[in-house]
Amino acid sequence: MRVPIKVLCRVFIRVALTVMAVSWATTSVWGYPLAFTDSAGNEITIEKRPERVVSLIPGVTETLFKLGAGDALAGITYHSTYPAETAEKTVVGGFFSPSLEKIETVNPDMIFVSSLHDAVAERFASENCIVVRLEGRAMADGFGRIELLGRIFDREKEAGSLLAEIRRQLEVIEKKTAKIPPKRRNRVIRLMAHDPLTVPGDDSFQNALIRAAGGIPPRFGRNGNIIGLSLKEWQAFNPQVIYGCGKGRKAALRFLNRPGWKEVDAVRNGKIFYFPCNLTCRASVNTGNFVSWLAARVYAGEFSNKADQVLTQGVFRSESVKLDLGYVKQAQILYETMDDFLNKSFVIDFTEPVSVLSTLEGPRDGIRSVGNHYTPPPCWGMGHDEGLQAKLKRICQTVGRPAENTAFLYTGADMDHLVIREEKFRDMKVLVLATAGVSSNAVRMSRDKGRYYEPGTINIIVLPNMRLSSRAMARAVISATEAKTAALADLDIRSSENPRFYQATGTGTDNIIVAEGRGVSIENAGGHSKMGELIARAVYEAVQEAIARQTGIVADRHVFQRLEERNISVFGFISEDECECGIVKSDLMAPLEGVLMDPRYAAIVKTAMALSDDHESGLITDVSGFEAWGRRTAEEIAGKKIKRMNDLVAYDNMPRVLDAALNALLNGIYYRMLDD
């Protein structure tokens, strides 16, 4: 029997409140000391707010940052890469094999662990360090965890607001999917791994997410986070929608195109979707966002029907933004409901009409307002066929601006991550306003194919305090574009299509608006002009900060994150082959993480990343010196001379220099383990 999501929402919140009422025996309801029971049944009392916390659970790390308690985090796993502040935290290893030595270096007063971290709990359970186990299979467990963390870190109000927003999002999806007749509901399955195929067990929160999105999850009569699935069970369920996390779409398609496995509706109709892992793998702060996105994918046609919308369209909140330019009347971020989801528009109104040059629309005159409109992920599949003019008209109706003298850009980067940069020289000034998302559709122009259409986009608005001629506006576009590409290069943003081989030059959907401005006339804004210099400097800084805010990518990020950006997982690049000595892939995992946390050995991989691009482009042809360095590094790790280097890297499509660096680390670990 299908339980309505509205009922589930009430149950989830009621359970969370019950957990709070039962588990919190405190001397002061709103302060410390604070007593509670963790998910393992341990009774814990804390006397004050924790100050040096190690979180081995990415969902806990994510929640603490969301609640504004990220300052208390001292150590995290390399799986946590957002927000940008994670780069300032000590990486203590991975979720499956954290380093006891690394944890000890941060001297924690509290550690959050799961059932996989018994060794950590045993080592650090003492009067000086409190070990808290937080986990669960149900969505309600995730909500209860948010409540608990809010109490522990004195963020009760923030936790309450977050839960209220999740509940609101789930209720909207319940109302929308309630309009879909039962016979048109889709069978949906979450793919955990393939070859062999694994899926969530019946009692997993993953299936609760599917139900919350209005889908029909499978029931195979087996519980657990992960269960194996036979071909017969797969065909009997016959999924109409398949989804997974990460970047495994190509590998999944190869597996699902095998005889038998491809004989299901989802494969026949191309209904296979992949989402960010921080959404699919955690019942946490983004539960409402993910359920909304999943539902919009599963029922794209139904959600696109304007007649079935359940919320009133329009602006419900605004925030003023100060821009110090004489011809700017006002600037605001408008929060609006469109297509039943939260959209956001940054709108600049001018005191008088101006001309603009837009790479989206071309030159336009008589413009009184320019803006940048954020479309959230659930809406990304809607409106692709409505055209620019229809889209502009609909947004302008929502924000109350006439379309004939308004110019907009469109993006999937959140307007809360908008960056404003000002550059000045004497009486010359320019303001640059930028948003930037690079995770889904970064592209290497001249190399990648033009197949992407996702609004992940870098959008730039340039506002000078002097009047640019038509020629100067065109030159300003070039200056801004070159600066944007330099910003991506210096951050080593990778191509989404070929991340191991190419840096990105943009996202493929980037756009720029240059306003003509007012005041002294200028005929040039190119690279050798002072205005061009100011534009480029402001764009460079704005784009880099916007990328950090939207994606968490900063220059000084750890090597684990940079490998993941190349679609190289630490576990995935270790060969499956078992050696004659009996060493298998899983044996190498923890030692490899330990080696990569050593700055000296991380350096050889980071050096390989830089050298690899030059080698692949032909700027460097002889890399024998680097390979010799790799061999010496392997011998240093092994503690002895190595007669024969083995090929221990699993990936076939690996650049030669990166292959040499990774093989060096694995060989060093392998030969060291032979002596243990």
pLDDT at 25: 39
* Cα(342)–Cα(315) distance, integer angstroms: 10
Buried b (16+ CB within 10 A) or exposed e, 522-548: bebbbeebebbbbbbbbbbbbbbbbbb
* Cα(455)–Cα(542) distance, integer angstroms: 19
The 10 Å Cβ neighbour count of residue 30 is: 9
pLDDT at 29: 52
Pairing of strands 110-113, 130-133: parallel
**What's at 64, amino acid-wise?**
L
**Residue 44: which of 121, 159, 146, 141 has the closest Cα?**
121
pLDDT at 580: 55
Q: Quick one: DSSP state of residue 85?
A: G
Average pLDDT over residues 358-363: 96
- For residue 265, what are the CA distances in angstroms to 180, 227, 230, 385? 19, 22, 17, 25
Give me the DSSP letters along 472-517.
HHHHHHHHHHHHHHHHHHHHTPBPSSSTTT-B-SB-SS-EEEEE--
Res. 581: pLDDT tops 80:
no
pLDDT at 17: 40
Average pLDDT over residues 328-338: 98
Average pLDDT over residues 609-634: 96
pLDDT at 30: 57
Count of residues in the chain: 676
* Cα(100)–Cα(216) distance, integer angstroms: 42
- Which residues lie closer than 8 Å to 22 by C-beta, 6 or more apart? 37
Dig out the tokens for 573 from the structure: 């690049």
The 10 Å Cβ neighbour count of residue 79 is: 23
pLDDT at 576: 67
Res. 432: pLDDT tops 70:
yes
223 compared with 29, residue with greater pLDDT: 223
Res. 7: pLDDT tops 90:
no
Across-strand partners of 53? 73, 110
pLDDT at 584: 73
Confidence of residue 450 (pLDDT cuts 50, 70, 90): low
The 10 Å Cβ neighbour count of residue 98 is: 26
Mean pLDDT score across all residues of the chain: 90
Res. 445: pLDDT tops 90:
no
* Cα(142)–Cα(136) distance, integer angstroms: 7
Res. 676: pLDDT tops 90:
no
User: Residue 273, SS3?
Assistant: strand
**95-132, pLDDT tens digit by residue?**
988 999 999 999 999 999 999 999 999 999 886 899 99
Q: What are phi and psi of 467, to 5 degrees?
A: -85, 120
* Cα(530)–Cα(367) distance, integer angstroms: 26
Instruction: Provide the CA 65 distance to its chain's centre, in angstroms.
Output: 14
Give me the DSSP letters along 128-188.
S-EEEE---SSHHHHHHHHHHHHHHTT-HHHHHHHHHHHHHHHHHHHHHHTTS-GGGPPBE
